[in-house]
């Protein structure tokens, strides 16, 4: 059995100020190491702050989106080459908010993941179903479709990405998939990856969706849940640190 070290990633979404960022970084650094690998994905303007504040620590930093293009006349876009120059280890692609509010297709998400890997940045590829899709029994079909596009596009590089399962109905709602519900989807995704790459057993599949200090340990104890992609709780150092420390 492959032992996978947990990964806990904070997604600040569109939050942050110089003062709040400094306090959050200070809290993370003061907490010291945990049993998990830790990263924060911050808004583009704060990447420099993250790079400076975290440079001497074990905490990694990343971005929340990227362009599928390498360079060119794409006003407002940020390339993976730029992220690499900032020392980004990770970039979130395909978050449900990007899919819903910016009409990002499965293929665009896959192209972004490919662009990230080409520049040495690890994509955290998000998949997940809405409440309507879950209630109509479409969860399996939706997440498999979303992941399939990425598998097809990345080819032999599939094993280099991180996957995050985020049920849309649990993001920012206070609702959390039960450990059993989350594990069932994670196992499904693992099986899909196993059919695509010999490295599937070593790949990290994170859970995201109202993860908090009081439920993190139970979620992380599931065999196919390898950590979390943390939203609101990552904005409070004490909560985020507690979640990181919940990793076995």
Question: Average of pLDDT values for 179-205?
Answer: 97
Question: Which among 34, 95, 104 is positioned nearest to 63, based on CA atoms?
Answer: 95
Residue 169 in marked binding region: no
Let me know if residue 248 belongs to a domain.
no
- The active-site residue, picked from 97, 104, 129, 166, is 166
Let me know if residue 241 belongs to a domain.
no
Let me know if residue 146 belongs to a domain.
yes
Residue 231 in marked binding region: yes
Let me know if residue 238 belongs to a domain.
no
Question: Average of pLDDT values for 138-150?
Answer: 97
> Is 70 among the residues known to form the active site?
no
Q: What is the pTM of this model?
A: 0.96
How many domains does one find in the chain? 1
- The active-site residue, picked from 95, 97, 104, 186, is 95
Residue 234 in marked binding region: no
Quote the domain boundaries for residue 113.
7-30+37-233
Let me know if residue 65 belongs to a domain.
yes
> Is 69 among the residues known to form the active site?
no
Let me know if residue 1 belongs to a domain.
no
The model's pLDDT over 11-21, given as tens digits with 9 standing for 90+, comes to 999 999 999 99
Residue 12 in marked binding region: yes
Tell me, what CATH number does 137's domain have?
3.20.20.70
Let me know if residue 107 belongs to a domain.
yes
Let me know if residue 240 belongs to a domain.
no
| DSSP codes joined into one string, 169-213 | GGSSSS----HHHHHHHHHHHHHHHHTT-TTGGG--EEE-SS--T
């Amino acid at each position: 059995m492959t032992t996978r070290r947990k990964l806990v990633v904070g997604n600040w979404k569109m939050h942050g100020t110089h003062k709040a960022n400094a306090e959050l970084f200070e809290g993370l650094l003061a907490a010291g190491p945990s049993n998990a690998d830790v990263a924060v994905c911050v808004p583009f303007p704060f990447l420099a702050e993250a790079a400076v504040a975290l440079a001497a620590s074990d905490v990694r930093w990343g971005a929340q989106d990227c362009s599928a293009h390498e360079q060119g006349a794409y006003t407002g876009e940020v390339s993976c080459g730029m992220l690499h120059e900032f020392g980004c280890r990770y970039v979130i692609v395909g978050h449900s908010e990007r899919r819903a509010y910016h009409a990002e297709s499965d293929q665009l998400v896959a192209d972004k993941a490919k662009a990230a890997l080409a520049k040495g940045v690890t994509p955290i590829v998000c998949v997940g179903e809405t409440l309507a899709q879950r209630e109509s029994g479409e969860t399996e079909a939706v997440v498999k479709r979303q992941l399939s596009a990425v598998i097809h596009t990345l080819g032999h590089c599939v094993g280099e990405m991180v996957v995050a399962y985020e049920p849309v109905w649990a993001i920012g709602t206070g609702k959390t998939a039960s450990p059993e519900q989350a594990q069932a989807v994670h196992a499904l995704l693992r099986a899909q990856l196993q059919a695509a790459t010999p490295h599937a057993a070593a790949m990290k599949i994170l859970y995201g969706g109202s993860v908090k200090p009081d439920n993190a340990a139970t979620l992380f104890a599931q065999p196919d849940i390898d950590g979390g992609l943390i939203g609101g709780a990552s904005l409070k150092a004490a909560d985020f640190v507690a979640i990181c420390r919940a990793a076995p």
